[in-house]
Chains A and B, each alone.
Chain A
Amino acid sequence: DSGVTQTPKHLITATGQRVTLRCSPRSGDLSVYWYQQSLDQGLQFLIQYYNGEERAKGNILERFSAQQFPDLHSELNLSSLELGDSALYFCASSVGFGGPDGYTFGSGTRLTVV
């Protein structure tokens, strides 16, 4: 157990639907990162939060949004889902902004859009 908890582990949904992925960071970590891993695009950074504030945005679609709550857990909302959104979505956390201790990843949520 890495200490980063992601739920659900698997999600199957239909095109056009909306889903919410949840992440609880490791205790003491203030930064949360979301990554998407797909077969065609590889691993891509989506968005970062630090202590409740958005700090950096990557290749996140407008249909996607995220937030970090006061208790530091984070949610990634994916709407108007398309087949191409099928991927493994990772949440990672770090104490600050990442360094020698690396980033701790959750086990991921595997999203399948049918």
Chain B
Amino acid sequence: AQKITQTQPGMFVQEKEAVTLDCTYDTSDPSYGLFWYKQPSSGEMIFLIYQGSYDQQNATEGRYSLNFQKARKSANLVISASQLGDSAMYFCAMREGGDSNYQLIWGAGTKLIIKP
């Protein structure tokens, strides 16, 4: 079963509009972390934002915020006031807790294209 599901393979958004990228996850571990990464066409993986399972407030980092709905196992990324430079692949990833299990499990990604 998929542990990280990103249901939007691609999205087109007008510049300056807000955009929400969906991510749902599946875990029975009470301790986990959720990450969003951006991968531009150049290929590098850029860390955007993190949400811990015990965090009481939704994470925010500049124009990025994470809409964390724990009961629904949802961790959507919201980008406010989108810019042309936001065009990229976006990946949601999860780290489950445990003594040695700290690798990331990845979603399939969403390709975001910002239109001028």
Using an 8 Å CB-CB cutoff, how does the interface string of B83-116 with A read, 1 for contact, 0 for none? 0000000010101000011111110110000000
Q: A42-B109, A43-B91, A88-B43 given as contacts; is B35 within 8 A of A102 (CB)?
A: yes
For the complex of A and B, 9 pairs with smallest distance between CB atoms: A97-B102, A102-B47, A105-B45, A45-B103, A43-B106, A107-B44, A100-B50, A55-B100, A98-B102
Chain B contact residues: helix, strand, loop or mixed: strand
A86 interfacial by beta-carbon distance below 8 Å: no
Measured between beta carbons, the chain A residues less than 8 angstroms from B47 are: 101-105
**Beta-carbon contacts of B42-57 to A below 8 Å, as 1s and 0s?**
1111110010100000
Q: B residues within 8 Å of A by Cβ?
A: 33, 35, 37, 42-47, 50, 52, 91, 93, 95, 100-106, 108-109
Main secondary structure of the interface of A (DSSP, over half): strand
Instruction: Tell me the total A-B contact number using a CB cutoff of 8 A.
Output: 63
Selected contact of B103 from candidates A58, A102, A105, CB within 8 Å: A58
**Judging by beta carbons under 8 Å apart, are B105 and A102 in contact?**
no
Docked Cα-Cα span, A58 to B44, in Å, equals: 21
* A-side interface size class: 20 to 34
- Interface check A99, CB cutoff 8 A: yes
Given contacts A42-B108, A90-B45, A107-B43, contact A33 B50 (CB under 8 A): no
> Which residues in A have their C-beta under 8 angstroms from that of B43?
88, 107-108, 110
CB distance from B5 to the nearest CB of A (A): 12
Q: Name 19 interchain pairs, CB-CB below 8 A, sorted by A.
A: A42-B106, A43-B93, A43-B104, A43-B106, A45-B105, A55-B102, A56-B102, A90-B45, A98-B95, A99-B50, A100-B52, A103-B35, A105-B37, A105-B44, A105-B45, A107-B43, A108-B43, A108-B44, A110-B43
